Chain A
Amino acid sequence: DSGVTQTPKHLITATGQRVTLRCSPRSGDLSVYWYQQSLDQGLQFLIQYYNGEERAKGNILERFSAQQFPDLHSELNLSSLELGDSALYFCASCGAPDTGELFFGEGSRLTVL
């Protein structure tokens, strides 16, 4: 158990819909990272938040947005969903900034029909 909690574990929805994925980092970790894992693109960094502020952005689509709340949990919002958005979405948190090691949650599997 990494200590990172993600909900929901599975989500099935239709094209054009909007979903919200939730993540609680390990106790004490200030950083939250979102990654997407798909068959064709592999594992891709989406976005990072540190103590409520956006710190780094990766290959995140404009239809996707995220935020980190004062209690440090984070939400990833995916809108106008397309079939190609079907993927595993992982959240990770990091301990001390210079350790580099990420602790991943179990992921949220999104299926867009």
Chain B
Amino acid sequence: GQQLNQSPQSMFIQEGEDVSMNCTSSSIFNTWLWYKQDPGEGPVLLIALYKAGELTSNGRLTAQFGITRKDSFLNISASIPSDVGIYFCAGRAPGDDKIIFGKGTRLHILP
């Protein structure tokens, strides 16, 4: 089945640093989604992307829908302690209602 490759698996950064993570697929997607999951909670949608090349921001978060439609990127600027958590990319392939999730990037922030 379709799989999303998310990298890196985990990140350790200093507070205030910028963060970049990405997600790739072997097949094209027509929707890319980025979620954050805190411990003991369900994922929460951060950004949704619907067009190739689309660049969308949500506060300090910026995500892009790759031109090839096979990848997406999430950037977090000036990280703060509450950014700690697991970030999942997810996508929907053409003609499919299902959302496929990546394995997540676990973000740790060092004091």
A binds B: no
Chain B residues in the interface with A (C-beta under 8 A): none
